[in-house]
Structure 1
Amino acid sequence: MSNKNKPVSSLHPRNKHQGGYNLQHLRSALPNLESFVFVNDYGKETIDFSDPKAVFELNKALLLDTYKLKYWDIAKNSLCPAIPGRADYIHYLADLLAEAHQGSIPTGSQVHILDIGAGSSLVYPLIGAQEYEWNFTASEIDRTSLHYAEVNINKNPWLKKKIQLRFQNDKNNILEGVIYEKDQFDAVMCNPPFFKSREDNWNSSTKKFNNLNKNKNIPTVQNFGGHANELWCNGGEKAFITQLIYDSLKYKDQLNWISSLVADKDHLKPLLAVLEYHKAADIRIIQTKQGQKLSRILAWKWK
């Protein structure tokens, strides 16, 4: 097992969001952002990161400006991704794929990536298609999210040949029904539901909101939103990734790297135990960082 779980100081070197947000530039890409920008006590322009509307407009501006989209929207109350951190996952995945190509990142339509639970935002396929011209298959269990994802593709016509959507009609399965007989994927990626229940999610959201907003009289809101299937599942993150491990073992002949974000470092040890017990051929832990937020990518392959 190669363990890259060492401290990182910034975003991936190829990440285009180094150095923070240029709000003046982003306002030119999305004028709607203007009404959410203010000057803080240190004389710097910023937004209220406890305000979900401000967070949405900021990340929309990043997508339109950096990844050349003409249109982007998400389903009401769905998860609004933090674009810099999501881009990091794409770039680290590219590094893994480069290992089999003498260090050169494979690009173009010959590279096929499966994104599990793509949501209405389609954030990983959008970034991966633009940065490396990869082809994506994006699965989703929520039909509303799938509809918004389809609209995002249709209003950016160049994406029609890059992203294929698939509906997962069985919430008890992750890969079965999504991977077809002739499919071969160079990598699987996933941002799993983290919480064990609605209550678990709400307790965490309240703590986070209070840290961001000093006015305790304002009702708690989740600044990044999220539908139930995006935020929690029985057993939470650890249970979901454990199932992904077992499901991927069934499809080992069709998959190269399988990966998932792991938000809680305490989940790594039991997940590694499952992978090692079933003799995964290679296991990687890659630490990522956006601001003060640390996360990990757990990646493995069976052959």
Structure 2
Amino acid sequence: MPFHPRNKHKGHYNLGALAAANPALKPLIIPGKTGERTLDFSKPAAVLELNRALLSTQYGIQGWDIPAGYLCPPIPGRADYLHTLADLLGDSHDSHIPTGIKLVGLDIGTGANLVYPLIGQHEYQWRFVGSDIDPNALASATRILAANPRLQSSISVRHQPNSDSIFAGVVEPGEQFDFTLCNPPFHPSAGAAKDANRQKWQKLNKGKSLDEDPGLNFGGQSTELICNGGESGFLARMIAESAGLAQQVFWFSSLVSKAANVPALEKQLRELGATDVRALNMAQGEKHSRLLAWTFLDKKQRRAWRKARWPQPQKA
């Protein structure tokens, strides 16, 4: 399954152009197995500098940076989520993707990188609120916005004061969001996160022995990677909370990395009265994931919502 058709990153990277935009990327380019140029993705610096170059050349983002040790997500996968979400919104709007500042999304756990709002605002001109429980992550996100003044009217961040809550404390009474999105923590413990990283490192390094802990090549604080119950526990709590905001959000959504988690989550949603539940497959090369989306609005409520908030499709 290939990248989404609108994903800017579905072809091979032009490493020469990216290194020209970000000279720090040049020394991280290495020969590939068949002589082509590639990056050593086992090195955190390679992912960081590639992201900086991609965000600059493809999305016009300047001064992007994150503190050491914070999650540095792969840009192509994040873009795929947003394009898949845009298709979902379009499917709810007579096959016309609604764009523009009237649509507002909530990014749960936006992190220090702020990547979802940055890409989503550029590609679809949506507004975003990014929430996080980590004040240092939000400080980093605020620095990114300060370096890009044009985004300050369309992207804002909020602190989640309660680590046991997801929506409560962030979504204000009566406030409406057209969609939510989330890349949930998926490890139940630090040990599980370390084991997963060890396997990833060995795959990237073709099975070489691991004498030292290399650290996560994509980084990540404990709040970004680990939670009680892992991915399934986090999403079960998100779904339970979402039922209390049934009339305030059109589409709730989240990534689900483990396909085995989906059936129980779908069952929970049906029991809570969700009127539409979608599990949409995505893939970037060998990596497979899925977007789980749900709404509690009935068809009449959805029509009223679209009429009130979304730009109306232009008749041919």
TM-score, normalised via structure 1 length = 0.95
The answer as to 2:140 corresponding to 1:154 is no
Match of 2:69 in 1: 77
Structure 1 stretches of 5 or more lacking a match? 1-8
In structure 1, what is the Cα distance between the partners aligned to 2:68 and 2:23? 21
After TM superposition, the runs of 4+ consecutive aligned structure 1 residues lying more than 3 A away are none
Percent of residue pairs bearing the same amino acid type: 43
Match of 1:113 among 105, 108, 115: 105
Checking the alignment, whether the CA contact within 8 Å between 1:119 and 1:145 is kept in structure 2 is yes
| Residue type of the alignment partner of 2:183 | N
In structure 2, what is the Cα distance between the partners aligned to 1:197 and 1:280? 31
In structure 2, what is the Cα distance between the partners aligned to 1:156 and 1:276? 42
Shift of 1:200: 0.7
Which sits farther off after the overlay, 209-218 or 195-204? 209-218
Q: What is the DSSP-based 3-state SS (H/G/I as helix, E as strand, rest coil) of the residue aligned with 2:113?
A: coil
In structure 2, what is the Cα distance between the partners aligned to 1:54 and 1:93? 28
In structure 1, what is the Cα distance between the partners aligned to 2:139 and 2:116? 17
| Residue type of the alignment partner of 1:147 | A
| Residue type of the alignment partner of 2:220 | G
| Residue type of the alignment partner of 2:287 | K
Match of 1:290 in 2: 284
In structure 1, what is the Cα distance between the partners aligned to 2:103 and 2:172? 17
Q: What are the Cα deviations for residues 205-224 of structure 1, in whole angstroms up to 9, with x where unaligned?
A: 11111111143245232110
Match of 1:253 in 2: 247
Match of 1:6 in 2: none
Which sits farther off after the overlay, 210-219 or 100-109? 210-219
Checking the alignment, whether the CA contact within 8 Å between 1:260 and 1:298 is kept in structure 2 is yes
Q: What are the equivalent positions in structure 2 for 1:1-303 lying under 5 Å apart?
A: 9-213=1-205, 214-219=207-212, 220-303=214-297
Checking the alignment, whether the CA contact within 8 Å between 1:15 and 1:91 is kept in structure 2 is yes
In structure 2, what is the Cα distance between the partners aligned to 1:54 and 1:91? 25
Which sits farther off after the overlay, 111-120 or 204-213? 204-213
Q: What is the DSSP-based 3-state SS (H/G/I as helix, E as strand, rest coil) of the residue aligned with 2:247?
A: helix
| Residue type of the alignment partner of 1:184 | Q
Match of 1:4 in 2: none
Checking the alignment, whether the CA contact within 8 Å between 2:104 and 2:129 is kept in structure 1 is yes
Q: What are the Cα deviations for residues 51-95 of structure 1, in whole angstroms up to 9, with x where unaligned?
A: 111111111111111000111011220100100010011011111
| Residue type of the alignment partner of 1:120 | A
Structure 2 stretches of 5 or more lacking a match? 298-316
Match of 2:313 in 1: none
Checking the alignment, whether the CA contact within 8 Å between 1:50 and 1:221 is kept in structure 2 is no
Shift of 1:39: 1.5
| Residue type of the alignment partner of 2:182 | C
Shift of 1:29: 1.4
Across the aligned residues of Structure 1 and Structure 2, the Cα RMSD in angstroms comes to 1.0
Q: What is the DSSP-based 3-state SS (H/G/I as helix, E as strand, rest coil) of the residue aligned with 1:60?
A: helix
Checking the alignment, whether the CA contact within 8 Å between 2:202 and 2:210 is kept in structure 1 is no
TM-score, normalised via structure 2 length = 0.91
Checking the alignment, whether the CA contact within 8 Å between 1:112 and 1:186 is kept in structure 2 is yes
Q: What is the DSSP-based 3-state SS (H/G/I as helix, E as strand, rest coil) of the residue aligned with 1:294?
A: strand
In structure 1, what is the Cα distance between the partners aligned to 2:266 and 2:32? 44
Q: What are the Cα deviations for residues 245-265 of structure 1, in whole angstroms up to 9, with x where unaligned?
A: 011100111011000000011
Checking the alignment, whether the CA contact within 8 Å between 2:120 and 2:126 is kept in structure 1 is yes
Checking the alignment, whether the CA contact within 8 Å between 1:90 and 1:124 is kept in structure 2 is yes
| Residue type of the alignment partner of 1:190 | C
Q: What is the DSSP-based 3-state SS (H/G/I as helix, E as strand, rest coil) of the residue aligned with 1:101?
A: coil
